[in-house]
Chains A and B, each alone.
Chain A
C-alpha cells in the first residue's frame, strides 16, 4: 500500500514513463540530467562514496528501495525505462567522450550521475563512472570500459569492489 506522505518518489517514476511517451527518450534524458545537476548545485562541492584505494564506491543504491517498490506495484520494469537506458547506451556508443558517460544499469543512474558530476565539478574534480550493478537483479553490471582504462584499473579490480557494492567511480583532480 502506498502512503500518501511517501507517494512522491513513485509519482516521479510514473512521471518519467509518461514523459518518455510524451516527448521521447532523448528529451527525457536531458530533463533527468538537468534535475540531477540542479540538485547537485544546491548541495555544493562534494565527493560521494566510500574510498577503496583510489576508487570510491557505494555499498547500496540510494534508489533501490523506491525502484523495487515501483516494480512491486507496476510489474516488470516498463518499456519506457528500458528506452532511456538503451538511448544512453546508443548515445554512449556514438559519443567521443564516452569516458565521461555514466555506466547505466537503471533509469535513475542518469539522475544520480549528473548530481555526482556536478558536485565533484564544484570540488574541482572530474568523475569517471566505472561500473554499476542493477539494484533490481544484483547481476549484469554495466561497465564504462573507457572510464575503467582511464582510471588505470582493470575490470577485475572493479568486479572485486562490486562484490561488496553497487556503483564504482573515481574522482580525478582537474589540472
Chain B
C-alpha cells in the first residue's frame, strides 16, 4: 500500500466528514445536489463512529444530538431524515438504525472518558437523552421474537427485503451490540439495566446458534419470516433461510459480539473473501451478482472492503489488510470515494436488465448521467454515487486500526 497516498486519503476523509455535517448535526449520506442529500441513521451512525475514531468528539456529539432528538414517538429511528430532523423515509422498518445509534452513543461515552472514564466520561449527555435510550431499547425488544430470541426487521443494510425481511444477521448484530451498549451506558449512569443485559445475552446466543451454519462454517444472511410475532415461525408464510454469502455476515465480530479469532468468524471471513472478492476489479462485493440489484452495475463496495480489512488487521494478517486497504487507496479518485465501482460492460448489462424490466426510475436516470460524466468512465470504470460519505468514515476507522496495529510495531 502506498502509505503517502493512504495518509492523504485519510486527511481528506476527515475533511469530507466535517464538510458534510450540516450545522444541525446530521451527516449527509452524499452531498447536497447528489444522490442521497438526506440523513440516513445507518450512514450517519457510521459517520459518528468515524469522527470518534478520528478524535472529532464535538462532531460526534453533535451528530448524536441530531439523531436522538429525531427519534419517532415509538422509539424507532426512521430510514432517513431531512436536515431539520423530519422523517422523510419512504421505506419500511430498518431496525439496525436503532442498534447503531445506541452502539455509537456508547462508543462516544467511552471515547470521552478514555483512560479516565470515571472522571471524564460525558455522562451528562447520556443522562440528557436517557429517555431516548430507553425508548430505542424498548423498540428493539418489541421486535424480538420470543420463540427464537431474534430481532425482526423488514429492511437491513442493503434495503432489500427479498433477502432481509425476517431475522437478518446485520440487523441482529447491530441491535444486540446496541443493547449491550445501552447496558454499559445504563451502568455508567447507575441505572438498573439487568433486564436489558439478559435480553442482549439471549439475542447474542440466538445469533450464534440460529444464524450460524456449522456445516457451511459460516454465519448466514437471514431467516426469512414475514411477521415478527409468528408463532410458531415454521408456519410463517416466508419461512425459509437465505444462506448466500453476504459481506455483512462478518457483523457479529465487527460489532464485538464474538472475538475476531473465533473460528466461526475466521471461517466466515474466508468464505466472504473467497466468494465476494472481485477477481476483475479487486475489492469486495456486497453480495452475489445474481441477486441482481446492482444499481449502476455489479461491483465492489469501498466501505465493505474497509470493514473486512479490520478483521485482517485484528488477526495480525498484514498482507491481507494491505490487500484490502491498498485497493481502497488505489481506487479513490481525487482522494474521494464512491459508493461502489463497476465496469462499463457491467454497467451496460445492469442498464439492459433494468430497462427491459421497466424498473428504471427517475433517480436512477440522474445517477446514470453522473456515472457517464465521471472522468473514470473513459478508463472503463463506472463510479457509482460519488462521493458517498460512508466509506470515508469506514476508511478512517480501518486505517486507524491498521496504523495502531502495524505502525506501532516498527
Contact = CB atoms under 8 A, between A and B. Distances in A.
Interface of A: 5, 41-50, 59, 119, 123, 164
A42 B90 contact: no
Contacts of B71: 44
Nearest to B73: A44
Contacts of B72: 43-44
Nearest to A42: B73
5 contacts: A43-B74, A44-B87, A45-B87, A46-B88, A123-B84
Nearest to A43: B72
Interface string B211-255: 000000000000000010000000001000000000000000000
Contacts of B118: none
Contact of B86 (A5, A41, A47): A47
Contact of B362 (A5, A41, A49, A164): A164
A47 B33 CA distance: 19
Given A42-B74, A43-B74, 18 more contacts: A5-B237, A41-B73, A44-B71, A44-B73, A44-B74, A44-B87, A45-B85, A46-B88, A47-B82, A47-B86, A47-B87, A47-B88, A48-B88, A48-B90, A50-B90, A50-B362, A50-B363, A59-B361
Contacts of B78: 46
Interface residues of B, number: 18
Interface of B: 71-74, 78, 82, 84-90, 227, 237, 361-363
Q: Looking at chain B's contact residues, is the secondary structure mostly helix, strand, loop, or mixed?
A: loop
B189 to A, nearest CB: 25
Most chain B CB atoms below 10 A, which of A5, A45, A49: A45
B200 to A, nearest CB: 26
Contacts of A47: 82, 86-88
B87 A43 contact: yes
Nearest to A3: B237
A110 to B, nearest CB: 21
Interface centre among B71, B86, B90 (most CB of A within 10 A): B86
Given A43-B73, A44-B73, A164-B362, A123 B86 contact: yes
